[in-house]
Structure formats: C-alpha cells, structure tokens
Chains A and B, each alone.
Chain A
Amino acid sequence: MFVSVKKMMKPAIFGLAGAMMAASVLPATAGERVFGLGKLATPEEVKGWDIDVRPDGLGAPIGAGNAIDGEEVYADRCAHCHGDFGEGVDRWPILAGGHDTLDGEDPVKTIGSYWPYASTAYDYIYRAMPFGEAQSLTYDETYMIVAYLLYMNDVIEDDFVLSNENIGSIEMPNRDNFFMPDPRPDAQLASGEPCMSNCNVSTEIIGRARIIDVTPEDDG
C-alpha cells in the first residue's frame, strides 16, 4: 500500500493527485508573455539566489571537504549551540546519535537517526546556519561541516571527501522509513455518521492540564 520515498523519487511517478486537480492544468503558453510584467533574470542574478541542493545533488556548488577538517570548522561555528559532539546545548537541536529510538517512548530525531538525505544538511546549513549568520559559510566549509556531521553519525569515514560530485549518492540510514502518499483522512468512523445521543464513550477524567502545571501564568 505504501510506496517508499526511494521509489517515489523516480520522476515519472510524481504526478500527484492529477485527477483531483486536472481541471486546473494550464493551457499551452506558446512562448508568449501574457501580462508583460517583470524583467528577465540574468544568469548571474539567478546564480546568486539559487542556493538549493536537491537529493540527487542538483544544485550542489563546486567544492569539497572531509570530517577531519570539518571538526575544526564545526567547533568554531556550530559547537556553541549544538555541542562538541552534536549532543545539543539547552534546547538547540541534537545532531548526532539517536539510532534505534524512533519506535521508542522518546524518539531522538538526528541527522543520523532520521534525516533521509545528506543533501538536506548541506542545503539547510548553507542557507540558515550559523543561526543569525546565514549564508556566511564558504562552499568548502559547508562540505566540511556536513562531512563532520555525517562522520559523527557513522555514515562516512573521517577521511571521506564529500563534494558536489558525491553528495547526491550518500546513503542515509533512515532513508527508506518515510512513506507517502499521505494516508489521511484516517481515524474515521466506519459508519460515517457520528453518534448523537446515549453514545457509548468513556467520560472519566484521566488527565488534567492543571496537574501538569506547565501553562505560562499572566502577570497580575
């Protein structure tokens, strides 16, 4: 019933819910602009803003780095919030470990235990990290940091040179554990019509927010 993400990545299968929205498919544009608004983007303009990196490596800028070099960059730019070993400081995210916790009481979702694609780490770190210094890392520094994070998560060896050439072929441990399409609506009544009177439900109180006592109090 479920299709794994890996299989879904074949482009031919990506026509989502086509029947549902078929009415909105556009007429052919025949190369004509309709409104004459906007200006053509130059290749330089696009290059400056097109920073995303896809799971297959498309968009990865030319560069390379390994975990040995990455350890120093990570210590300098990342460890303050994420800890020397990716363990997380205060409420900042844990980046390493958490293997075999996803089906437990307290799942720890890290790059190693949860993230399905290595490209995501590159894409996110370059665009948004360090927190408050977005897009300040060089391409090589970003590869080094990603290599160090993958090394800490036992995905690659410390001397593996991560680059634009191979980031699209890194196999992440949890990659096959994501499923689509969305199986909702779920949790629906078999009859479709909800009970209106003398319904057979438990009305016993089994939990109270006041007892938990984590609600912020207003002053006054």
Chain B
Amino acid sequence: MSRSKNDLIEGNENNVSSDVSPIESVAISRRKMLGGAVLAAGSLAAPSLAKATESNPDNLPPNVSEWTPYLGEGVDVNPYGSPSEHEAHVIRRSVEWLTASPESSVNFTPLQDLDGIVTPNGLCFERHHGGVPEVIPQDYRLMINGLVDRELIFTLDDLKRFPQVNRFHFLECAANGGMEWRGAQLNGCQYTFGMVHNVQYSGVRLSDICREVGIKPSAKWVLAEGGDSAGMNRSIPIEKILDDCMIAYSMNGEALRPEQGYPARLVVPGWEGNMWVKWIRRLEFGDMPYMAREETSKYTDLMEDGKARMFTWVMDAKSCVTSPSPEKPMMHKGQNLLKGLAWSGRGKITRVDVSLDGGVNWQTAELHAPVLDKSLTRFTLPFQWNGEELKVQSRAIDETGYVQPTIQALQKERGVNSIYHNNAIATWLVKSNGEVENVRLG
C-alpha cells in the first residue's frame, strides 16, 4: 500500500502544504512503518474482537476506543517484557557493505528513536570481531598475571563479592562517523552517529582488583584480553586502569547482554570502545605496551603525510541532533521540538549550541539533568517552523572548554584518511516539504 503525501497530512491545517512531491527517502520508509500513527483514510476496519493494529478513526473522541471495553492480557503473558509491536522499527541496523562478514561487523543504535540518556540494553550497538561467544557463567574466569605480587584467578561470584560501583558511561566506537570524512555519505542519524550507547554499569573498580593482586612498581601497562574467537586484546596504561576503569557484570540493572560481553567486560570511561574488552578473560601487567593488532594496524589515525597517530584513546566532545534527522522528518508546521545528544570523553558537557541556518547564528539548547561525567547528555530546543529550508547543526562544549569542531577544521589537521575520531559537526538539511537529508556544507 502506498500513501501520498496528501494522505499523511489530511485534516491538519498546520501540516506541510500539500503541493509538494512525495518523498522517496528513508523518511518515507519510516512513515510507512509508522502507519499506525498516521490517519489511514478509507481503511475503516469493522469492529472485531480480534486485536486491531491498524489506525482507525473510530478510536478517536467522542467514540469509545476499541481497546477500552475489553480485558487485555494478564500478567505473565510476556515474562520478560518487550516493546510495543508498534515500536518494531526501533531496532539496531547494519550497513552490509561495510564489512566482510556478520561475525566481524558492527550495527548501529537507533538514536533517533530514543529519549533521555539511557540506551535500552537490546538497542546498544554491537561490534564483534569473532561473533558472540556463549560463555557459561559457572565456567567464566578472570585471570590476572604478569608484574603482580600474586597471579590470581577470579570466578564471577568472586567479582560480585568485591565492593560495587554503579556508573553511567557512554561507549563510542572510534570509527563512529568514520564514513563521513570525505563527505556526507550515509543518510541517517543512526548510521552516522549510532556507534554509541550509554548505560549504567555495575561492577568492580579495577583499582580494587589491583590491590588484591598487588601491582609491582615496574608495571606500567595492562593487556586486556577477551575470551572470544578474536581474543580481542588492547594495551591500557596503568594510570587509566587505576583512575576509573572497572570490570562490569551488569548494565542497566540486569546482567550484561551476551553481545555486550556477558558475563563480564572492561569499562574504560571516555576512551574508544575497542578498548572496552568484552567477555574479558585476562589482564596481564607489563612494563611496555603490547602493540596488538587493534592498536597498530587498526585504531591508529593515518595523517595526510602518511604518518599515523598511535594511542589516540580519548573520545573528544561530540553531539548530534536526533530529531529532526533523516529518519525523523518534519511533520508539522508551527511548534516543534529539536532533540539531541552530546558527550565528551574528557568530562561533563557544559553547553550545546544549535544552529538552524548552517552555522551562521547559534542559540544555546537546554541541557537535561542528569548531566554526568563521560555520559550521554540530553539537550532539547523548542522552535517554530513554517516550511522554510533549515540547515540544522549542533555544537557541544565540555568542561575542559573543548569546542566540537567543524569537519573543515578536522580535515585541515588530519586530512581525510584517518577513519577514526571524526567528532565533527554534522548538518541536516530540512527541505520545505519536511524531508531531512545529511549534507555537507563548505
């Protein structure tokens, strides 16, 4: 079934004028999927006890809505609850051509469909290098070896007997936005910003584990190693390990999801996601970095002159407008709400500015509590729209005074081949028909 633009806006004089051509983009796909939220003229379903899922004007006042007279499902129908079936479009998505196989690949968090700062566990983007291992929790072990007083092995129960910390942190892949270095490429908030998620972790301070094993003075680096088929391994300086790293066993109150490292993962606040080793099985203390594949051939930043930056761990301040966005077109004239997320690996977000005219004029958005250290921060900006073209941008500033840069400023420093650490300001073009597109200004 296809709907015209006119169908979408019927009956609302505040809506987009009807003389525009149909939209043929991601935006219209989304609208089709959101059919339940749209008035479907001419498809009046007969009243029935069968569960209706299509929108029906008979549900509207002054009528009694069809779900009102009857009993609904009882408890235990769905012992582990799921989102409404009307939210089935809110899922992780991948870009198939990006990688060689789904076991060594990535998908993206649907940021455009979320509110607040917490990412639901099932929507946290996935990045695996050898698929998701099926770790049996009773057989899980964390080994500590190398330059320590005692080489120890901990069970999952052992880890849960340590003092606990509970902290919100964002995790962002260093390659988030990596496809956009040369120009606007992927037409979606999800695909250009979705390699980030934000959950509350529960777990053990690594400094407590270090006290238990006893760190030798010569220990300067820690190799973190996963128990997956990639044996993911990264070197981390001891200062960071002792400062704020943790071994997490829970996210958002429940056990880690398998795809997020069940039963235990490393948390490296503010630093690139690749270092947050999942299914962590071993920490080795040494006196120099290990130069693993992921910190030499990958996750090094190639500059224009052919030389590469190494050990670029911190995720600099960044922000994105989640709505409007290519997946969230403008549906109404008049009052609207712009929503977005900002984050910094160097601390708290202190300010987010929004421009509707491509960066010529800016206004400061409202930050919503809680504003936490190395965590996603929610911002909103109410605004009026009357069908004029907009070029929407957001610019984050963190507590160190760092200002999210333009892509031109980043390109000037780094060229276009560094893949990682693109934290540039993006631009969403809002057209007069409400469609939104990822564009590059210059």
| A and B physically associate | yes
> Whole-angstrom distance between the alpha carbons of A206 and B244 in the complex?
42
B412 (CB) vs chain A CBs: closest residue: A187
A108 vs B401: C-alpha distance in the bound complex, in angstroms?
37
**Which residues of chain A in 22-60 are interfacial with respect to chain B, using CB atoms and an 8 Å cutoff?**
24-26, 29, 31, 33-35, 37-41, 45-46, 49-52, 54-56, 58
* A-contacting 9-mer, from B195-203, B215-223, B262-270: B215-223
Interface segment, one of A69-77, A148-156, A157-165, A176-184: A176-184
Asked whether B358 lies within 8 Å of A179 as measured between CB atoms, the reply is no
**B152–A117 touching, CB < 8 Å:** no
Partner of A197, one of B100, B231, B296, B362: B362
Among A9, A92, A206, contact of B440 (Cβ-Cβ < 8 Å)? A206
A206 touches B187 (CB 8 A): no
Q: Which residue of B lies closest to A177 (CB)?
A: B307
Contact of A128 among B94, B229, B402 (CB under 8 A): B229
**Could you tell me which residues of chain A, from 187 to 220, have a CB within 8 Å of some CB in chain B?**
187-189, 192, 194-199, 201-210, 212, 214-218, 220
Contact assessment for B225 and A128 in the assembled complex, using a CB-CB cutoff below 8 Å: no
The contact string, 1 if C-beta is below 8 Å from chain A, for chain B 16-57, is 000000000110011011000000000000000000000000
Q: Which residues of A contact B (CB under 8 A)?
A: 5, 9, 11, 14-18, 20-21, 24-26, 29, 31, 33-35, 37-41, 45-46, 49-52, 54-56, 58, 81, 90-93, 102-103, 107, 109, 111, 114-117, 119-120, 123-124, 127-128, 131-132, 134-135, 177-189, 192, 194-199, 201-210, 212, 214-218, 220
Pairwise interchain contact B143-A46, C-beta atoms closer than 8 A? yes
B104 contacts partner chain A, Cβ-Cβ < 8 Å: yes
A184/B152 in contact, CB under 8 A: no
When distances are taken between beta carbons in the complex, the residues of chain A under 8 Å from B143 are 41, 45-46, 49
Question: Does B184 interact with chain A (Cβ within 8 Å)?
Answer: yes
**B346 contacts across to A, CB distance below 8 A:** 185
Interfacial chain A residues near B6, Cβ < 8 Å: none
The reply to whether A14 and B25 form a contact with Cβ atoms under 8 Å apart is no
Q: What 1/0 mask marks residues of chain B from 294 to 307 whose CB sits below 8 Å from any chain A CB?
A: 00110010101111
B413 touches A186 (CB 8 A): yes
B405 to chain A: closest residue by CB: A187
Contact yes or no, B154 A38, CB < 8 A: yes
A187 touches B311 (CB 8 A): no
CB pair B290 A5 closer than 8 Å: no
The CA of A39 and the CA of B233, in the complex, are separated in Å by 23
In the assembled complex, which residues on chain B have CB atoms less than 8 Å from the CB atom of A111?
A: 297
Residue pair A119, B291 in contact (C-beta under 8 Å): yes
Q: Is there contact, CB below 8 Å, between B296 and A117?
A: yes
Which of the residues A115, A181, A182 comes within 8 Å of B297, measured between beta carbons? A115
Within the assembled complex, what's the spacing in Å between the Cα atoms of A91 and B101? 8
Nearest 5 A/B pairs, CB to CB: A103-B306, A203-B358, A127-B231, A207-B440, A102-B306
| Given A11-B287, A181-B311, A205-B439; 16 other pairs, CB 8 A cutoff | A11-B218, A14-B287, A31-B149, A55-B291, A109-B302, A178-B307, A179-B310, A182-B314, A184-B316, A194-B397, A197-B360, A206-B442, A209-B187, A209-B438, A210-B25, A215-B95
Of the listed stretches B71-79, B235-243, B251-259, chain A binds B235-243
Interface CB pairs A-B, < 8 A, 18: A14-B287, A16-B220, A26-B215, A37-B162, A117-B291, A182-B313, A188-B405, A196-B363, A199-B359, A199-B362, A203-B357, A206-B183, A208-B438, A210-B25, A214-B95, A215-B26, A216-B191, A218-B26
A35 nearest CB across to chain B (Å): 5
| Interface: B337 (CB within 8 A) | no
A139 to B30, CA, bound (A): 53
Chain B residues positioned under 8 Å from A207 (CB to CB): 183-184, 439-440, 442
Quick one: closest B residue to A106, CB to CB? B417
- Nearest CB of chain B from residue A37's CB, rounded to whole Å: 5
Q: A38-B158, A115-B297, A182-B312 are in contact. Are A128 and B442 (CB under 8 A)?
A: no
Task: Assess the B242–A41 pair: CB atoms within 8 A.
Answer: no
CB-based contact A29/B239 at 8 Å? no
Let me know if B309 is at the binding interface, CB within 8 A: yes
B24 vs chain A, min Cβ distance (A) = 9
The residues of A that contact B324 with a CB separation of less than 8 Å are: none
Give the CA-CA distance A74 to B240 in the complex, in Å: 39
Asked whether, in the complex, the Cβ of A49 is within 8 Å of the Cβ of B281, the reply is yes
Indicate whether B348 reaches chain A with its CB closer than 8 angstroms: no
Tell me, yes or no, whether B391 is within 8 Å of chain A by CB. yes
Q: Mark B343-379, 1 if CB is under 8 A from A, else 0.
A: 0001000000100011111110000000000000000
**Bound form: Cα–Cα A127–B233 in Å:** 10
Chain A nearest CB, measured from B40 CB (Å): 14
| Interface presence of B399 (CB below 8 A) | no
Select which of A21, A52, A90 is within 8 A of B243 by beta carbon: A21
Known contacts A116-B291, A188-B403, A203-B360; A107/B29 CB under 8 A: no
**Given A34-B211, A38-B212, A52-B225: A135 in contact with B231 (beta carbons within 8 A):** yes
Q: Which residues of B contact A5 (CB under 8 A)?
A: 310
With A127-B233, A178-B300, A220-B29 given, is the CB distance from A201 to B149 under 8 Å?
no
Q: Is the CB of A41 within 8 A of B153?
A: yes
- The interface residues of chain A lying within 8 Å CB-to-CB of B150 are 33, 40
Task: Please tell me which one of the listed residues B95, B104, B154, B243 contacts residue A216 in the complex, with CB atoms under 8 A apart.
Answer: B95
Bound-state CA distance A109–B308 (Å) is 11
Cα-based distance from A45 to B143 in the complex (angstroms): 9
Bound-complex Cα distance A181 to B213 (A) = 29
Docked pose: A115 CA to B302 CA in angstroms: 12
For A180, list chain B residues within 8 Å (CB).
309-311
With contacts A199-B361, A210-B25 taken as known, whether A131 is within 8 angstroms of B442 at the C-beta atoms is no
- CB of B429 closer than 8 Å to a CB of A: yes
Nearest-Cβ distance from residue B92 to partner chain A, whole angstroms:
12
User: Nearest residue in A to B417 (C-beta to C-beta)?
Assistant: A107
